[in-house]
Amino acid sequence: MKLARSALLALAAVPIVSIASGAADQPISATGRWHLDFARSSTPGGRHPNSVTLDIVTDDERTYEATETIVENDGKMRIEHSKAEYDDNPYPVEGSPYQITISMSRLANGSKYIKLDTALGFRAATLCSLSNDFNVMTCDTDFTDPQGRITPARSVYVRDTPGQPSR
């Protein structure tokens, strides 16, 4: 059960963001440093690591790249790196002990469909959105375990580098 909960938490920690705004309906980049706000988030099993920091270095029309640092409650640190194209093909998440792959595709109005899979048979579908001031990112996820049971979760990230992201 601990392995299953860990795999679900690992899937929860891979957010991708898109929001459309302005008259030209241009996507807004979520580049910057973010931290997971556990008080505003709901995780499967109710347990969470000590801290999660997300550094999004690229978020444009074609590519998403981010590094996530997870500090477990015992102080152990794990660093996971994601780089994917918006082409619906799977890309490995480097540093993931659960062999997570991520695939992404664009939907209408600038949103993105994100699919995460593990070698253990866990899957997740996530949709993230930015607040109007671009400083809060809310990611709603449906996790599916190998038996087909679905568990919803919400991860709320707060920008550590305030200000409007680039367009």
Summarised one tens digit per residue, pLDDT across range 68-118 is: 999 999 999 999 999 999 899 999 999 998 899 999 876 654 467 789 999
Please tell us whether the domain made up of 2-159 is placed in CATH 3.40.1080.10: no
| pLDDT tens string 21-53 | 333 455 567 889 999 999 999 987 778 999 999
Residue 130 above 50 pLDDT?
A: yes
AA identity, residue 107: L
Residue 42 φ/ψ, nearest 5 degrees: -130, 125
The domain ranges of the chain are: 2-159
Residue 3 above 70 pLDDT?
A: no
Give the H or E element holding residue 144: strand 136-144
3-state secondary structure of 7: helix
Contacts of 39 (CB under 8 A, 6+ apart): none
Instruction: Say how far apart CA 114 and CA 103 lie, in whole Å.
Output: 6
pLDDT for 159 equals 94
Q: What is the pTM of this model?
A: 0.80
89 within 8 A of 67, measured Cβ to Cβ: no
Beta strands in 31-130 (DSSP E): 32-36, 51-59, 63-71, 77-85, 91-92, 101-106, 112-117, 123-130
Instruction: Say how far apart CA 103 and CA 89 lie, in whole Å.
Output: 5
